[in-house]
Amino acid sequence: MAHPAHSVPSPAAALRQAAAHAITWRSVLLGLIVTVFVNTMSLYSEAHGSGNFSWSYLPEGGIIPFILLAALNGVVRFFFPRLALSSGELLVVLVMGLISNSTSLFLMFMQLAAIVAPRYFASPENKWDQYLLPHMPRELIVSDRLAAKYVHEGLPPGAPIPWGAWLVPLAHWVPFILVMLASGYALVALFWRQWQDHERLAYPLMQLPLLLVGKGPPSVQRRFARLPLFWIGLFIPVCFITYNGLQTLYPSLPRLPMDVNGVIRLATFTSRKTPPLYAWMNWLVLGLGWFVPLELLFSVWFFYLLRFVEVTLLNTFGLTLGPSGFFMWGQDAISCWQAGGAFTVLALTSVYTARRYLAETLRAALAGGDTGHDEMLPPRWAWGLLGFGFLGMILWLTHFNMPLLVALIFLTSVMLIYLSISRVLCEAGVFYFTPPLIAQNFTIYSLGPTAIGPAGMVALGMSYSWHGDVQTVLPGLSAETFALKRAMGVKGTHFSGVVWLTVLVGMATVIWFTLFAGYREGATAWKTWAFQTWGPMTYGQVVGQIQMPFGPSLPHVGVYGAGAVVMLLLTWARLRLNWFPFHPIGFAVNASFTIGYTVWFPFLIAWLIKGFMLRYFGLQAFRLAVPFFLGLGAGAYVGKLIAVIIVTIFGKVLS
């Protein structure tokens, strides 16, 4: 007699069994080693000018260790099958490697630079003692002038590191940052099932690692590494990037128009009236573009070229909005502010689309139950972290001199930006971009420094450390890695536990390594702007706006509103008109400075090739080409690794 209860495990039992083969002591240990590696080497590479280790949402610091481990695991599997890591274990290491980039360069490194800069750079000439320091709470900055001096210039021989000078400011900042990270994580956790199950977003960035561990479509996953197309694709970027490394060692070799990442600078068009137009080929973007939906490929390059035409016309007729705000990296104000409005609408329409699912989770949270599905966080935890975290941040900011209205507008903008970043990553696969407008700029120009007041302006100025150069933020990195959860076979709460272990270890590593290296070498000797010009530029702007305050800028707010209206119309048309060819995300990201030299041209090429193959050869031909484009993506990382190893052996820095 058969006993089906004994032969077929329950879904919960199957999930526990799969999780036991993913979150193991060795996968977590390897992940922690990668976490420490990323949070030290990203700072080292930034300080010594040897690459963009953490400068994207698919960073070298997360992917290169994963590729190396996957290759080594293949060898181990061949000779010692029982010792090999499972695909779930490999993905655990990948998740920890990617998440570890959220704490390194663009968060804690900048934070440490921000709290030590005021005492070190203050001088009679910049008048910080008059306009800046009186409004800075002493407990938020390093007040010991010698401690501030020595981290920039290096300790005298035999002097101990003054750890005590950092204890009070870090004791105030670290809890705030943890609450900010928890709120952002809870926000995107609430959207996970909506995006993956209901809207079925493509998650293009995670296709490369999924295929590498055999978790992709059955038509591809079992054979791609055996096909010549994969190795041909991998060989192309490896050759270009390795050659660039050899040029560093042998300057007499013919120079190719190529940067440190193997990006080929095919052409650059400039004139007095136009912004630069870069036709540069990025192999990684081209490879990943194969997994981006066709309408998104088209919309990203089309709206970027439309912006190029718009800015050219504005320059021709002498129309300008004035300053765009800080951390806009030279982009024109009109396109930044109209894209800023579009970026906000992208977040709001995401909330509107998910309203029924969000209401379901909120009801479950209020009832103390669950939704009947495995969530990243239990509903009560997700809504509690988001709601109470937001309230806690408001109280913290207002306690340290930020007016209540300013704090509400600023933090709401931050959360909407995080949601939009996550949406772009999960749907469009644009892995290297920054928001067109950061929250401080919207707050300052909508209210005006006159209304915000000097103390409020300084409070906003101190927030540029964690929301200024907005890259590799935890909500974005978490949202994209959520696509790996089911392939790992783990519970959502276990996945979240891995994420938060990574965050805590990463933050501690950055604090220790930055201060240890800074006091040993002198941070002003590093080839990074964080400890050199970040303080003077950022706080200098704050002082300038205090000295010359202004009221609400109606032109800026008007352009922002116009961009929001256009985004609403594009969203309506896409939902209502079957023939409408444009995706609104293309308009929302067209003012990001990285789209110009990293994304638009490879997306154009990918769109042309992919569209041609689908139209004339069908879906089967598209699938057959997957190994080639997968090889292009993997080859970009492998080539960078080979080049760095070559030049490091000879004591050089890749350039």
Q: What is the mean pLDDT of each run of 10 residues along the chain (655 residues)?
A: 47 50 94 96 81 84 93 92 94 97 94 96 95 96 96 95 97 98 98 95 94 70 70 94 85 85 88 91 96 97 96 92 79 92 98 96 92 92 97 98 98 98 97 93 96 97 95 96 95 96 98 96 90 93 95 96 98 95 97 91 98 94 92 93 82 69
**In the block, which residue shows the tokens 């005021």?**
118
Q: What is the pLDDT of residue 331?
A: 73
In 10 A of CB 300, how many CB atoms? 31
Q: What torsion do the CA atoms of 430, 433, 436, 440 make, to the nearest 10 degrees? A: 130
3-state secondary structure at position 29? helix
CA nearest neighbour of 598 among 311, 156, 261: 261
| Reported pTM | 0.94
Residue ranges per domain, the chain?
A: 11-202+292-616
CA dist 40 → 180, 423, 506, 508, 591 (Å): 23, 29, 9, 11, 32
DSSP string, 239-285: HHHHHHHHHHH-TTSPPPSB-TT--EEEEEE--SSS--EEEEE-HHH
Distance between first and last Cα of the chain:
71
pLDDT value, residue 542: 96
Angle at 89 between CA 85 and CA 178, to 5 degrees: 150
Identify the CA nearest to 558 among candidates 341, 408, 345. Answer: 341
Q: What is the pLDDT of residue 648?
A: 77
pLDDT at position 249 is 83
Is the separation of the CB atoms in 586 and 302 below 8 Å? yes
Instruction: List, in sequence order, every residue forming a beta bridge with 277; answer none if it has no partner.
Output: 269
DSSP H/E element including 647: helix 618-649
Specify the pLDDT at position 29: 97
333, β-bridge pairs = none
